[in-house]
Structure 1
C-alpha cells in the first residue's frame, strides 16, 4: 500500500490582508488583516454593516481571535453579533525590527523600562500616532472596502497592546465604542495609567469595556514558562492582577462606561489570550445589550 501526504498552506476563509505604507522609513509599514464572517456563516450573519474589532499585535492576536469570533457566533443561537476582526502588525518578518516597532507603537510615553527587554530602535511613545493611524487611515479605508459600521469600532490588545487600549480608553476614546484589554502592561512608566494626576480621564460618550488578566499573573514566581532566576528577580515586583484591579477601580466611577473586569482562573501571561478574548467577545458583542434582539442563524 502506498500512502502519500500533500501539504497546502491554509488561510483563514474569507480573510484578506492589506499593507499600509505611510512613509519611506522601514517602521512606516503595517500589515492589516481583515476577517469578515466566513462563507459558511454569511447567510446567518446577514449583509452587515458589522462592528469591527481592531486588534493590536495582530501577529499574536488576530488568527486566534478571528477563529474564536467565528466559532462562537456559529454556536450562539443568534445571541452574538457577527464581528469583523482586524489585526494590525508591523509589516516585517524580522523579529528584532518587529519588536522595536511594536515598542514604539504601543507605548504612550518616551520613558524606558527595565521590564521591557527589547532594543528601542525606533524610539518610544508612539501610542498617539498609532491611534491616529487606526482612526483616521486604517478604519476609513476598510469601511470603504467592507461592510463595516463606522459607529461601532472596537479597539483591543494584549500585553503592550492592552496598555495602548487602556491609554486610548482614558485619553483618546473618540471614534471607538468598545475596548478589550487583556493582561495590559499597566506597569508602564511607573504605573502611568493608574495615576489620576498624570493621566486624567478624558470626556467621552458611552462605551463598553472588557478587562482581563490571568490568575497567575500576580508574580513571576507563578508564571509558565518558568523564568530564569535572574529574570524572575528583575520582575519580582510585577503584579498584573493588582494593577488591573486598580485600573478597573479608576473606571468604576464613570457612569457612561459599562466595565467588566475578570481574573481568569489558572491562566498566566502566556496562556490567557484565548480564554480572555472568548469571554470578552461575548461581553462586548452579545445581542440585547444595545436593544438589539436576537437574529436568526447559528446552530
Structure 2
C-alpha cells in the first residue's frame, strides 16, 4: 500500500491536521488531527514523550476532547499527565458518506442492524481493518512526527466508536494500554460483546479502562432530542445502560483489566460525550487515582 501525507494547521492551538491518502477511492482519504499541549502549556508539560489517545469518529470527538484535555491540564496542579489527542475520521464533510463509512469502519462484524438501515451502503464489519490502519499506518507516522510514547497508546470512541473500542479491548488489545468507551453500541450483532462464547476476552498485558453511559440511555422514550416514530421503532428495546453493566461485569472477571464504569446522571446519547471524556481523562491520566 502506498500512503501519502499532507499537513495543515488546525484551529486549536498546538494542533495540526494531516490528510492521509491510502488509495485511489474517495473512501481512501483520511483526516488525522493531532493536538499537542498548546504553546502556553509547553513549559509545564515538558518535552515528552507524551501518552497518546487515538479517537475514532474524530469529526465528532476530536475538538471537544482536545479542548477538554488542554483546559483540564491547565487547572490540574500537576495532577494530570499531558496527553496528546489524535482524532481519526474520513476526509469528507459529506454527512451521508461519514455515516456510511462509520457503519463500515466501526463495526467489528458483518451484520444487519435496524438502527443503521440506509446508512450501511458500504457494508459493515470493517472494524479489524480500521484497527490495523491505526496500528500499522497512522500510529507509526504520527509517533515519528511528534514526541509521543508508543508504549502508552490509548484508544477511545463514542457510540459506534465506543463499540469498536470495546471490541479492541475484548478481542484485539495488542498495542493499546488504555481504553475509553462512551455510550458504546453494545447492542451490535445480537449483543456480541456480551456473549462469552462468541467473544471471549483475549489475554493481554495490564490495561486501564474507563466506560460511561448517560442514565437516560436506558430507553428511547427518555431520549433527547425526541425521536421520530420511525427511528424510535428502529431502536426499540435498546437499553445501553443495562448493556454497559453487563459488559462491565464481564471485564471485572478478566485478568489484567482495571475497569472503572459509571452511569452519568441526567445525560443522554446526544449530550454525554463532554462530561464522560472529562471524567475519563482524569481517571486514565490523573496522577492521583481518585474517582472522577
* TM-score under structure 1 length normalisation: 0.92
Q: Say whether residues 1:231 and 2:231 are aligned partners.
A: yes
Displacement of 1:10 in angstroms is 8.5
Relative to structure 2, which stretch is displaced further, 54-63 or 231-240?
A: 231-240
Counterparts of 2:118 and 2:167 in 1: how far apart (Å)?
21
Structure number with the bigger relative contact order (C-alpha 8 A, sep ≥ 6) is 1
Partner of 1:253: 253
Task: State yes or no: 1:207 paired with 2:198.
Answer: no
Gaps of 5+ in 2: 1-8
Per-residue deviation, 1:99? 1.1
CA-CA distance at 1:119 after TM superposition: 2.8
Q: Deviations over 1:66-121 (max 9, x none)?
A: 00000001101100000100000001111111111111110011111012144322
Aligned residue for 1:174?
A: 174
The CA distance in 1 between the partners of 2:278 and 2:214, in whole Å, is 14
Q: Residue 288 of structure 1: CA displacement?
A: 4.7
Equivalent residue, structure 1, for 2:105: 105
SS across alignment from 1:164: helix
- Residue 203 of structure 2 contacts residue 255 of structure 2 at CA under 8 Å; is this kept in 1? no
2:5 corresponds to: none
**Higher mean C-alpha displacement, 226-235 vs 143-152:** 226-235
SS in 1 for 2:217: helix
Q: Count residues with an aligned counterpart.
A: 281
| Corresponding position of 2:37 | 37
**1:1-299 equivalent positions in 2, closer than 5 A:** 11-288=11-288
Whether the aligned pair in 1 keeps the contact of 2:201 and 2:254 (CA below 8 Å) is no
Contact 1:13 1:38 in 2 (8 A): yes
Aligned-partner Cα distance in 1 for 2:233–2:20: 40
Deviation >6 Å, runs of 4+:
none
Q: How far is the alpha carbon of 1:11 from its aligned partner?
A: 1.4
Aligned partners of 2:10 and 2:16 also within 8 Å: no
CA distance in 2, matches of 1:124, 1:226: 27
1:6-52: CA deviation from partner (whole Å, max 9, x where unpaired): xxx98101100011111111111110000000011000000000000
Which structure 1 residue ranges, 5 or more long, are not aligned? 1-8, 290-299
Partner Cα separation in structure 1 for residue 10 and residue 194 of structure 2: 43
CA RMSD of aligned residues (A): 1.3
Q: Distance in 2 between matches of 1:18 and 1:108?
A: 26
Asked if the contact 1:27–1:122 (Cα under 8 Å) also holds between the matched residues in 2, the reply is no
Partner Cα separation in structure 2 for residue 208 and residue 152 of structure 1: 11
Largest Rg, 1 or 2: 1
* Greater alpha carbon shift after TM alignment, 131-140 vs 280-289: 280-289
Query: How big is each residue's C-alpha offset from its partner over 1:234-280, in whole Å with a ceiling of 9 and x where there is no partner?
Result: 32201000000000000001231110000000000000000000000
Instruction: Report the secondary structure of 1:31's partner residue.
Output: strand
The whole-number CA distance in structure 1 between the counterparts of 2:205 and 2:58 is 27
Q: Is the 8 A contact 1:165 1:181 kept in 2?
A: yes
Q: Secondary structure at the match of 1:62?
A: helix
Q: Distance in 2 between matches of 1:173 and 1:234?
A: 31
